[in-house]
Amino acid sequence: MSEHPDCALVRQGYTAFVSGDMETLGNLMTADAVYHVPGHNPLSGHHKGREAILDLFRRMGRETDGTMQIQLEAVLADGRGHVMSFHTVRADRGDRGIEIRDGLFFTIVGGKVTDIDECTEDLDEVDAFWS
């Protein structure tokens, strides 16, 4: 059984994120892509545009002093340009640590990511970690 191309695109993005390859990540999304971060913390909100999204990812790396680890668990496609991914995040920030399951909902058009919605199992825990 072969993997759907949209799932392969998302997996490529995870691999690039984990290795810090911002160039590859940037090439996987449109210039006007939007990343939606839930909650009420300094990272929450709508990050509009490829560069704003890459800046968000760089900030996550800086604020966790490179300790952020992502373990991809599943990638699911609907065949109509939507992909859901599920992963576990582990990171330290100052004297605080986190280990939490998250998910991303991708919209893909023309082989590029146009929109990402982030979901998490515990918004309060995420807000406390990033605040």
Would you write out the chain's pLDDT as a tens digit for each of its 131 residues?
Answer: 689 999 999 999 999 999 999 999 999 999 999 999 999 999 999 999 999 999 999 999 999 999 999 999 999 999 999 999 999 999 999 999 999 999 999 999 999 999 999 999 999 999 999 99
Which CATH number goes with the domain that contains 13?
A: 3.10.450.50
- Domains in the chain, number: 1
- What are the CA-CA distances from residue 52 to residues 13, 49, 83 (Å)? 16, 5, 22
Domain that holds residue 97: 5-130
pTM over 0.85? The answer is yes
- The reported pLDDT for the residue numbered 64 is 96
Contacts of 113 (CB under 8 A, 6+ apart): 9, 10, 13, 28, 29, 30, 33, 106, 107
| N-to-C CA span, the chain | 44
Per-residue pLDDT at 2: 84
- Give 52-84 pLDDT, tens digit per residue: 999 999 999 999 999 999 999 999 999 999 999
